[in-house]
A = this chain, B = another copy of it.
Amino acid sequence: MDAQARIVLGDARQQLQQLGENSVQLVVTSPPYADQRKSTYGGIHPDRYVDWFLPIASELLRVLKPRGTFILNIKEKAVNGERHTYVLDLIKALREQGWLWTEEFIWHKKNSYPGKWPNRFRDSWERLLQFNKSRKFDMYQAAVMVPVGDWAKGRLSKLSETDRIRDESRSESGFGKNVSNWLGRDMVYPTNVLHMATECNNQGHSAVFPRQLPEWFIKLFSQPGDTVLDPFAGSGTTLFVARDMKRRAIGIEILPEYVEAIEAKLRLRQQPQLV
């Protein structure tokens, strides 16, 4: 088995106890949604979702490094015509458990699930909740910069005069001047809204994430050599992406057939995949 990527068969709550405390830099996971994927996971009732998740989160709190990050992909379903509140309850419960609710990213799914209902439109976004153990955490923002929005209009040829002068005065005053900020002004920082299409592989396992989603968070919150954990590995997307990015990857998955599929893929490629 690839030493850089490891998949464990078993229940997340139990298997997490085998991991050492303060050993994981980043958790990226998409747990089974309430009452979703019944056929595979048995389904957790929305009303019991918080109680089910809290013991697992407690273990995550233990294994996560002090400057590490926990990214939770989740979205409430509609029940009796209403949005259920278990995600709101979960956020509050996690805070009481000691987590800091640092941010809520929005994943805008461009090709959302089709359908039509008389009282609502298609749901094309999900929550990506960021939790931390401390206000001071590792964040490598430069790793996820994106092309400036103006690139189509050709307005990036010159900096505005005010910006240039502001930059020059900063450099003269001796404070840390980031030359790349204005020399290579074609890149800017992203926002907290992520636009990504879901991968529609209808073969076998349905990929929950597109690869770019864990990739973005792994770039942003970890460095090569760090440990990335997904306690609900599913088809293993987070695991493979992390390994390809030279992180140590740990996955936990309760379904034997998923674990076997992941192990097969791990044996198949010891080298990073290029897609």
CB within 8 Å of B: which residues of A?
A: 78, 80-83, 85, 88, 91-92, 95, 100-104, 106, 108, 110, 112, 116, 118-125, 135, 137, 139, 141, 149, 152-154, 161-162, 165-166, 172, 189-193, 195
Chain B CB within 10 Å, residue with most, of A82, A95, A165, A193: A193
For this complex, 27 residue pairs linking A to B, each with C-beta atoms less than 8 Å apart, are A80-B135, A81-B100, A81-B102, A82-B95, A82-B100, A82-B101, A82-B102, A82-B135, A83-B101, A85-B91, A85-B92, A85-B95, A85-B101, A88-B88, A106-B108, A106-B125, A118-B141, A121-B190, A122-B191, A122-B192, A123-B192, A124-B193, A125-B192, A152-B161, A152-B165, A154-B162, A172-B195
Beyond A121-B141, A122-B189, list 7 extra A-B contacts (CB 8 Å).
A82-B135, A85-B95, A102-B120, A103-B120, A108-B108, A152-B162, A152-B165
The listed residue (B121, B149, B153, B193) touching A125 by CB distance below 8 A is B193
A119–B95 touching, CB < 8 Å: no
How many Å from the CB of A167 to the closest CB on chain B?
11
The CA-CA distance from A59 to B88 in the complex, in Å, is 25
Determine whether the beta carbon of B104 is less than 8 Å from that of A106: no
CB neighbours (8 Å) of A112 from chain B are 191
Task: Give the secondary structure class of A's interface.
Answer: mixed
Tallying the copies of this chain within the complex gives 2
Q: Are A119 and B92 in contact (CB under 8 A)?
A: no
**Cα separation A82 to B137 with both chains bound (whole Å):** 12
Question: Which of chain B's residues has its CB closest to A131's CB?
Answer: B82
Residue of B nearest to A112 (CB): B191
Q: In the bound complex, how far is the Cα of B162 from the Cα of A41, in angstroms?
A: 32
